[in-house]
């Protein structure tokens, strides 16, 4: 298993610790779960936003082509 180290602000750390505490889990478990979720669905939010923009502007793109 690999380890990484990142620098975050004290405010970000406090927010993360609060989220972990609210969920009754360690900070490490909170971050591990979020990373796993992100890796499992890496483009879902981006894909949804891109599809929305493409559909919304389809006529404009057609005219510009």
Kindly tell me if the per-residue pLDDT of 42 is higher than 80: no
3-state secondary structure the chain: CCCCCCCCCHHHHHHHHHHHHHCCCCHHHHHHHHHHHHHHCCCHHHHHHHHHHHHHCHHHHHHHC
Q: Is the pTM of this model over 0.95?
A: no
The more confidently predicted of residues 36 and 60 is 36
Under the phi-then-psi rule, with left for phi > 0, alpha for psi from -120 to 50, and beta for the rest, what region is 3? Answer: beta
Kindly tell me if the per-residue pLDDT of 65 is higher than 80: no
Give residue for tokens 């894909």: 47
Residue 16 neighbours by CB distance under 10 Å: 15
């Amino acid at each position: 298993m690999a380890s990484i180290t990142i620098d975050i602000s004290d405010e970000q750390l406090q927010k993360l610790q609060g989220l972990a505490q609210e969920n009754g889990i360690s900070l490490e478990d909170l971050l591990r779960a979020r990373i796993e979720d992100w890796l499992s669905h890496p483009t879902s939010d981006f894909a949804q936003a891109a599809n929305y923009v493409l559909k919304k502007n389809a006529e404009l793109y057609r005219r510009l082509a």
